[in-house]
Copies of this chain bind each other. A is one copy, B any other.
């Protein structure tokens, strides 16, 4: 059991109607995608062809920041506000999609972009599934 799951298991109040499996998965994907994007931006900076990767660096940095904020919002349940959660998830879907699209352009040349695109797609999907489960 991950710490994220244990924290939900030991939560001292009700979590409402939320799909716990979808929530745990989404928190994990947000953290993972944020770290992968931070690392991919840095890997791009180490490429001789960085001049062709500046849009990729920027999109990775934006995606890292939005995934990070979304993972934090999803980790809080007190005084739950569905509007705020949904808005954060929508921003996260958009950021992950932009970043996956951009990294896929470089995935054949740069394996770190392939790994990053996969992390972004997984996070995008996890956010979509959580949005659907929120009704």
Point out residues on A near B: beta carbons under 8 Å.
2-4, 6-8, 10-13, 27, 31-32, 34-36, 38-43, 45-48, 50-51, 54-59, 61-62, 64-66, 68-69, 71-73, 75-79, 81, 83-84, 87-88, 90-91, 93-95, 98, 102, 110-112, 114-116, 119
Specify which chain B residues have a CB less than 8 angstroms from the CB of A39 in the assembled complex: 4, 7-8, 11, 75-76
Shortest CB-to-CB span from A130 to chain B, Å, is: 15
How many identical subunits does the complex contain? Answer: 4
A62 in contact with B78 given A3-B32, A3-B115, A46-B11 (CB within 8 Å): no
Specify which chain B residues have a CB less than 8 angstroms from the CB of A50 in the assembled complex: 50-51, 54
What does DSSP make chain A's interface, helix, strand, loop or mixed? Answer: helix
Tell me if A43 and B87 are in contact (CB < 8 A). Answer: no
Shortest CB-to-CB span from A124 to chain B, Å, is: 12
Tell me if B58 and A65 are in contact (CB < 8 A). Answer: no
Tell me if A35 and B75 are in contact (CB < 8 A). Answer: yes
Tell me if A66 and B73 are in contact (CB < 8 A). Answer: yes
Q: Please, how many angstroms separate the alpha-carbon atoms of A115 and B8 in the complex? A: 11
Shortest CB-to-CB span from A108 to chain B, Å, is: 13
Tell me if B83 and A10 are in contact (CB < 8 A). Answer: no
Specify which chain B residues have a CB less than 8 angstroms from the CB of A41 in the assembled complex: 61
